[in-house]
């Protein structure tokens, strides 16, 4: 019997996304307002249109972690897991990175440093050049901006960063996936994200 062969792009997607950041798709962290019925929510009255409220979507908990839903639908984590995450973040922010590199730009954004604007432009240019879409890059930059700026990592923002990175990877073409795989700075980013993710791993 011949062994089944998978396309190269499929294997690269698995390597860059599922291996690094095994998490539920479309995890939306935060609290949202409930929407009314389809007939009532438009709020059309007296010639003026009132836009509907967003649909309530409680966040999905990242599998295999200590994350839980709080009373208001927000993500919460145990004190032990938060401490482990903070420690991992401290180790990452203590690193140094070369100027004018993807790693350097990411570190500036994570720490929310003064050169934020130039780092944002540099990272966006580099990732788009490698084949990522403008929209997915912008979402990723927003999600990591200031993520490690304090000693206490915001778990909701980290959750958003995981989703933004996964979405960016999934939108890449097969050729762009190859370019991402060859970039050492992106490999380092993946390693750092994996390190943060492992800090939230549920004890067996």
Interval 116-170: pLDDT, tens: 899 999 999 999 999 999 999 999 999 999 999 999 999 989 888 888 898 999 9
Tokens read off for 173: 């073409």
Quickly count: other Cβ atoms within 10 Å of residue 177's Cβ: 22
Nearest CA among 33, 6, 16, 5 for reference residue 180: 16
Q: Is residue 182 part of a domain?
A: yes
The residue segments making up the domain with residue 72 are 64-199
Predicted TM-score (pTM) of this structure: 0.70
Q: Is residue 129 part of a domain?
A: yes
Interval 11-63: pLDDT, tens: 444 445 544 444 433 333 333 333 344 444 444 344 444 444 544 566 656 66
Counted domains in the chain: 1
3-class secondary structure per residue, 84-148: HHHHHHHHHHCCCCCCCCHHHHHHHHHHCCCCHHHHHHHHHHHHHHCCCCHHHHHHHHHHHCCCC
Q: Is residue 45 part of a domain?
A: no
Tokens read off for 152: 């206490």
Q: Is residue 81 part of a domain?
A: yes
Q: Is residue 19 part of a domain?
A: no
Q: Is residue 85 part of a domain?
A: yes
Q: Is residue 40 part of a domain?
A: no
């Amino acid at each position: 019997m011949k062994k089944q062969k998978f396309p190269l792009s499929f294997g690269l997607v698995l390597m860059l996304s599922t291996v690094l950041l095994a998490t539920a798709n479309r995890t939306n962290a935060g609290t949202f307002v409930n929407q009314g019925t389809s007939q009532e929510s438009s709020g059309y009255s007296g010639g003026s249109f009132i836009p509907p409220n967003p649909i309530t979507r409680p966040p999905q908990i990242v599998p295999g972690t200590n994350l839980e839903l709080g009373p208001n639908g927000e993500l919460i984590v145990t004190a032990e897991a938060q401490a482990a995450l903070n420690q991992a973040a401290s180790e990452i922010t203590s690193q140094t990175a070369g100027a004018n590199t993807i790693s350097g730009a990411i570190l500036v954004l994570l720490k929310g440093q003064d050169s934020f604007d130039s780092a944002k432009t540099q990272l966006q240019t580099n990732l788009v050049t490698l084949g990522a879409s403008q929209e997915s890059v912008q979402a990723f930059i927003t999600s990591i901006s200031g993520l490690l700026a304090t000693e206490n990592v915001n778990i909701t923002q980290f959750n958003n960063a995981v989703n933004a990175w996964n979405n960016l990877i999934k939108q890449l073409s097969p050729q762009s996936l190859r370019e991402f795989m060859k970039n050492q700075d992106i490999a380092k980013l993946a390693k750092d994200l994996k390190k943060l993710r492992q800090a939230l791993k549920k004890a067996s």
